[in-house]
Amino acid sequence: MPELPEVETMRRGILSAVGCQIERVEKLPTAVKPLLIVPSISSMSRRIVGREIVAVERIGKRVIARLESEDRLIFEPRMTGLVLVADPPSKEHLRFRVDLSGGVLDTIWYWDRRGLGSVKLFSPTRFEAEVASKFGPDALAVTSELLRDRLRHSRRPVKVALLDQKAIAGIGNLYASEILNVAGVHPTTRCDKLTIAQWRHVHQATLDVLHAAIEHEGSTLSDGTYRNALNDVGGYQNQHRVYDRTGELCRTCEHGTVQRIVQAQRSTFFCPKCQSRGRGKR
């Protein structure tokens, strides 16, 4: 957390930065864990102050401001980071700011409660070599055939494989559980055991779940950390079918009781009724 829907919501929240010129960048003082900023703030300032932002993009779980120089300023939220244009949840966890001119947006803030994220500036060649090449196709852009081709030979459980950003970019722990529930696929099923029909169900569920989550501006969980760019909560947590609902009725089939298991040191939630092993979705 945040995953593709939350980061895409952040990206859309700062789209009005396109056409603005960067006036100043600042690493904000904080008494908590310092944020990783690369290169140093002085070097970053020399390279980007006075430059225009020509696009706001996303790759996987990262927000990218592309500059007229083709340099990319990349915000990686990791566990608790937020890209904001409004007042933050707390002042003490503000880590970085970008002041803008020439448009409707004055400032982009980066806030991070735990300080696990980063802000990095990449040249075009370094971006291709160290960022773009490290990710698989975006989960919203992949076809059913490509999804299957990238994962079908893996002996990993499908839930674990969906988290592999080198295979498919953007899906995290929360949405993997939701996707497999909608697809009717048991999370421990090995990728190489899934049928063509099951891969189609997983693909369609990926699109359905992620688009719905984006429409609701992401999921704000019980810790309340995630906010959109205006510091408002998301709404998709109210639509979760299985995630963090152990012991409750599955909202997909309305017959099974949600169970929790651990896979690759992460919690997985599923319904044993509509995701029974070997059953698949008809």
Helix (H, G, I), strand (E, B) or coil at 5: helix
For the cut 50, the answer to whether the pLDDT of residue 81 exceeds it is yes
Tell me: the pLDDT tens digits for 100-113?
Answer: 999 999 999 999 99
The answer to whether 273 is a known catalytic residue is no
Compute the average pLDDT of residues 91-99: 94
Q: Which residues of 227-247 are buried (b: 16+ CB within 10 A; e: fewer)?
A: bbbebeebebbeebbbbbbee
Report the alpha-carbon distance of residue 85 to residue 14 in Å, rounded: 7
Question: Which of these, 151, 178, 152, 187, lies nearest to 167 by C-alpha position?
Answer: 151
Contacts of 83 (CB under 8 A, 6+ apart): 10, 11, 13, 14, 63, 75, 77, 108, 109, 110, 229
Q: Give the pLDDT of residue 282.
A: 42
Tell me: the pLDDT tens digits for 249-272?
Answer: 999 999 999 999 999 999 999 999
Tell me: the pLDDT tens digits for 15-30?
Answer: 999 999 999 999 999 8
Q: Give the pLDDT of residue 30.
A: 86
Helix (H, G, I), strand (E, B) or coil at 242: coil
Instruction: Report percent pLDDT > 70 for the chain.
Output: 98
Report the alpha-carbon distance of residue 52 to residue 67 in Å, rounded: 6
The residue annotated as part of the active site, out of 2, 5, 77, 187, is 2
Compute the average pLDDT of residues 75-98: 93
The token duo for 221 is: 């969980």
Which of the pair, 282 or 36, is modelled with greater confidence?
36
The residue annotated as part of the active site, out of 27, 61, 95, 150, is 61
* CATH 1.10.10.60 assigned to 4-134: no
- At residue 6's C-alpha, the angle toward residues 209 and 254, to 5°, is 35
Interhelix angle 173-183/196-215, nearest 10 degrees: 130
Report the alpha-carbon distance of residue 218 to residue 172 in Å, rounded: 13
Q: What are the residue boundaries of the structural domains of the chain, listed by start?
A: 4-134, 144-270
Tell me: the pLDDT tens digits for 199-219?
Answer: 999 999 999 999 999 999 999
Query: CB 127: neighbour CB atoms within 10 A?
Result: 20
The residue annotated as part of the active site, out of 12, 266, 273, 281, is 266
Report the alpha-carbon distance of residue 38 to residue 122 in Å, rounded: 9
For the cut 90, the answer to whether the pLDDT of residue 242 exceeds it is yes
The answer to whether 2 is a known catalytic residue is yes
For the cut 80, the answer to whether the pLDDT of residue 279 exceeds it is no
CB of 144 closer than 8 Å to CB of 72: no
Question: Which of these, 190, 189, 239, lies nearest to 210 by C-alpha position?
Answer: 239
CATH of the domain spanning 144-270, picked from 1.20.120.80, 1.10.8.50, 1.50.10.10, 3.40.50.1860: 1.10.8.50
Average predicted confidence (pLDDT) for the chain: 95
Q: Give the pLDDT of residue 126.
A: 96
Give me the DSSP letters along 149-215.
HHHTT--SBHHHHHT-TTTSBS--HHHHHHHHHHHT--TTSBGGG--HHHHHHHHHHHHHHHHHHHH
Q: Which residues of 172-191 are buried (b: 16+ CB within 10 A; e: fewer)?
A: bbbbbbbbbbbbbbbbbbeb
The token duo for 76 is: 């990686």
DSSP 136: -
Q: Give the pLDDT of residue 257.
A: 97
Q: Give the pLDDT of residue 278.
A: 57
For the cut 60, the answer to whether the pLDDT of residue 166 exceeds it is yes
- Burial of residue 223, with CB atoms counted within 10 A of its CB: 0-12 exposed, 13-18 middle, 19 or more buried: exposed
For the cut 60, the answer to whether the pLDDT of residue 280 exceeds it is no
For the cut 70, the answer to whether the pLDDT of residue 181 exceeds it is yes
For the cut 70, the answer to whether the pLDDT of residue 33 exceeds it is yes
